């Protein structure tokens, strides 16, 4: 399970045309502490095959890494636990319906998007808004040719040196809880924002991918985070701001110990004044990389 707007799972049609892009350089930061070094790499969690995103700087950092840190564990056991957690939290209370929480106009827009994606809207009726939000994003990604096994974390975890210890900031169950424990009203706001984006701006993610490949952090901040910040400020605080601060706390402690660490998390967590690099810079660490 992966979040949508801040890690940008939804891929618009035409993204495969970027597969031949040259000189790919997604954003990367190097943080130096009293003893440790942390390299921060902004990822996209699901990609179509063929994109050239591995830079020489990233390859060098991975070759020297003592530890790899991800948002959640990358192993079969954690994926099974995530699936169980999703199943347990995806359904509304008996007798309730998703359409009870939508206006007539919102329900009509949802049905149009479902038709575009080839999904039966009525099948979503017993499901919580957060789960429908995520499912629509995954359906859109699949239509664009995205595959989870092409995501940055999966590739890096599989190909990096086995000697590097694997760690995670959160469990999959914790991520599911962050979404499912929100008030239904907040979940519905986020769902409606996703539906609106899928209808009104189908090229949004194509822009984000191009900006990611080019390392354009200013535009990434606007296009990857702008919608959630504007439409769902409560979600932005809970799912971006608060998590960034917790992760910065972990990395601050890690930087005071010896070792070289590569951190791979959604690029939305690394850009802007509230991103992890900016937070660590504000705490006095030397941070090389885009501002």
List the chain domain ranges.
75-164+171-215
Write down the pLDDT at residue 249.
Answer: 98
Residue 165: helix, strand or coil by DSSP? strand
Q: How large is the average pLDDT for residues 62-83?
A: 86
Q: How large is the average pLDDT for residues 99-115?
A: 97
Whether the predicted pLDDT of 53 surpasses 50: yes
Distance CA 63, CA 262 (A): 10
Residue 26's nearest CA partner among 275, 289, 260 is 289
Whether the predicted pLDDT of 151 surpasses 90: no
Residues contacting 80, CB < 8 A, separation 6+: none
Distance CA 143, CA 120 (A): 16
Write down the pLDDT at residue 2.
Answer: 35
Q: What is the DSSP letter of 238?
A: I
- Say what the pTM is: 0.86
C-beta separation of 227 from 196 below 8 A: no
Whether the predicted pLDDT of 164 surpasses 90: yes
Q: How large is the average pLDDT for residues 40-51?
A: 84
Write down the pLDDT at residue 268.
Answer: 93
Average pLDDT, the chain: 86
C-beta separation of 35 from 286 below 8 A: no
C-beta separation of 199 from 113 below 8 A: yes
pLDDT band at residue 200 under the 50/70/90 scheme? confident
Whether the predicted pLDDT of 28 surpasses 60: yes
Backbone angles phi, psi at 8, to 5 degrees: 60, 70
Q: What is the DSSP letter of 93?
A: P
Return the ∠ at Cα 251 (arms to 249 and 255), rounded to 5°.
125
Write down the pLDDT at residue 288.
Answer: 97
Write down the pLDDT at residue 147.
Answer: 72
Q: What is the pLDDT of residues 124-149, one digit of tens each?
A: 999 999 999 999 988 887 777 777 77
Q: How large is the average pLDDT for residues 191-195?
A: 93
């Amino acid at each position: 399970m992966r979040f949508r707007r801040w890690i940008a799972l939804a891929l618009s049609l035409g993204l495969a045309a970027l597969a031949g892009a040259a000189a790919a350089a997604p954003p990367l930061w190097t943080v130096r502490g009293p003893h440790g070094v942390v390299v921060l790499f902004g990822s996209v969690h699901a990609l179509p095959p063929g994109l050239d995103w591995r830079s020489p700087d990233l390859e060098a950092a991975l070759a020297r890494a003592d530890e790899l840190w991800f948002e959640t564990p990358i192993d079969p056991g954690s994926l099974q636990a995530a699936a169980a957690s999703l199943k347990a939290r995806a359904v509304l209370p008996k007798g309730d319906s998703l359409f009870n929480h939508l206006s007539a106009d919102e329900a009509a827009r949802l049905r149009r998007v479902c038709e575009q994606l080839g999904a039966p809207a009525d099948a979503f009726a017993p499901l919580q808004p957060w789960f429908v939000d995520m499912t629509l994003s995954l359906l859109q990604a699949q239509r664009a040719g995205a595959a989870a096994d092409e995501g940055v974390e999966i590739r890096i975890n599989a190909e990096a040196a086995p000697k590097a210890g694997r760690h995670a900031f959160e469990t999959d169950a914790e991520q599911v809880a962050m979404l499912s424990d929100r008030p239904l009203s907040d979940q519905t706001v986020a769902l409606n924002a996703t539906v609106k984006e899928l209808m009104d701006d189908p090229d949004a993610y194509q822009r984000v991918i191009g900006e990611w490949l080019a390392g354009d952090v200013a535009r990434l901040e606007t296009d990857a985070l702008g919608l959630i910040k504007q439409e769902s400020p409560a979600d932005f605080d809970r799912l971006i701001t608060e998590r960034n601060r917790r992760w910065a706390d972990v990395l601050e402690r890690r930087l005071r110990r010896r070792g070289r660490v590569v951190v791979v998390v959604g690029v939305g967590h690394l850009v802007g004044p509230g991103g992890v690099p900016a937070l660590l810079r504000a705490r006095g660490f030397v941070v090389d990389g885009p501002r």
